[in-house]
Structure 1
Amino acid sequence: MERNLSHIALFAALIAVLGLVPKIDLSAGVPITAQSLGIMLAGTVLGAKRGALAVLLFLTLVAAGLPLLAGGRGGIGVFAGPSVGFLVGFPVAAFVAGWVMERTTLSPAISATAASVIGGIGALYLFGIAGMALMLGKTLGEATFLAAAFLPGDALKAVLAGLITQSLSRMRPTSLLSRA
């Protein structure tokens, strides 16, 4: 139990630290950040439930007003902007990535990359695109077009998540809780 809580808190902190990487603002009002890499890693390393809990802890701290999002953003107001769909989709993305990771038997690198693409891109974009369409008054097609700007960076993050997960499994096989 204590180990699970420690891992959940550690990954919430990792997601917060990735917010220190400077964001790139797009015209749609949704920034490109490194924090989605933390979301992917939470799922691939911790598994579905613990990964989602780590992200929920992070979002609770953001909602409480801590400036943990990229660019020093925080507070309940961030859930009223164009990035709300991505924020709401964060725990779902971590859960889906963890769920896929738990059910694959391929090498950790391949499994984690696939899990990151399915959860960290696919599931996250479902929520993100819907949120952008709603908050920006765009159609789903227009919001999908706007979200396409994130794809190259997110594909790179998915590969990085696969490589990092593979490295963790080689250095400390017991640290890969998604495979425990």
Structure 2
Amino acid sequence: MERDLSLIAMFAALIAALGLIPQITLAFGVPITAQSLGVMLCGTVLGARRGGLAALLFVFLVALGLPLLSGGRGGLGVFASPTAGFVLGFPVAAFVTGWITRRLGRLPVGLAASLASVLGGIGVLYLCGITGLSLALGRSWADAALLVTAFLPGDVIKAVLAGMLTLTLYRARPRLVLSRA
């Protein structure tokens, strides 16, 4: 129990720390950040339940007003911005990424983690983010989807990186990759 709480808190802190990497804000108000890499790692390392809880803790802390999002943003106003769908999608994406990583248990760890990151950390996160963007901008879902295509190459790189980091951790400390336990 204590170990789980520590890992959940540590991975919520990882998502926050990745927000310190300078962001690039696109013309329609959604920044490119490294925080989605943290969401992917929550799932690939901690598994579905713990990974989802780590991302949920992060979202809760943002809602309380802590400036943990890239660019030092936080507070309830974030949930009325174009980024709301992405932020609210963090826990869902982490959960699905962990669930898929577990289901791909027959594949090598790095490959399973990369594929799970693409499906959960990109696919699910984009579904949530595009929906929020569509609502915030008053545009159709298809128009909003077209806007986020600029994120895709960077997010694929993050998914591959998540797979490599998960594999490296697994080789060094297999018992710490709970998605494989």
Report the TM range for the smaller structure's normalisation. Answer: over 0.9
Taking the aligned partners of 2:89 and 2:160, their CA distance within structure 1 comes to: 20
Q: CA deviation at 1:129?
A: 0.6
How far apart are residue 85 of structure 1 and its match? 0.6
What are the Cα deviations for residues 113-150 of structure 1, in whole angstroms up to 9, with x where unaligned?
A: 00000000000000111111110011111101101010
Partner of 2:69: 69
**Deviation >4 Å, runs of 4+:** none
Identity fraction in percent = 64
Matched position secondary structure for 2:31: coil
- 2:86 is aligned to 86
- For 1:159, the equivalent position in structure 2 comes to 160
**Counterpart for residue 175 of structure 1:** 176
SS at 1:74 equivalent: coil
> Alpha-carbon deviations, 1:34-78, whole Å to 9, x = none?
000000000000000000000010111111111000000011110
Tell me the secondary structure at the aligned position of residue 110 of structure 1. helix
Q: Aligned pair count?
A: 180
Q: Structure 1 residue 13 and structure 2 residue 21: aligned?
A: no
In the TM superposition, 1:30-69 aligns within 5 A as 30-69=30-69
Q: Distance in 2 between matches of 1:57 and 1:177?
A: 18
Gaps of 5+ in 2: none
What TM-score, normalized by structure 1, do the two folds share? 0.99
TM-score of the superposed pair, with normalisation by structure 2: 0.98
Question: C-alpha distance in 1, partners of 2:52/2:145?
Answer: 25
**Following the alignment from structure 1 to structure 2, what is the Cα–Cα distance between the partners of residues 50 and 136?**
33
Amino acid at match of 1:50: R
SS of residue paired to 1:20? coil
Unaligned runs of 5+ in 1: none
Q: Distance in 2 between matches of 1:71 and 1:93?
A: 22
The structural deviation recorded for 1:103 is 1.2
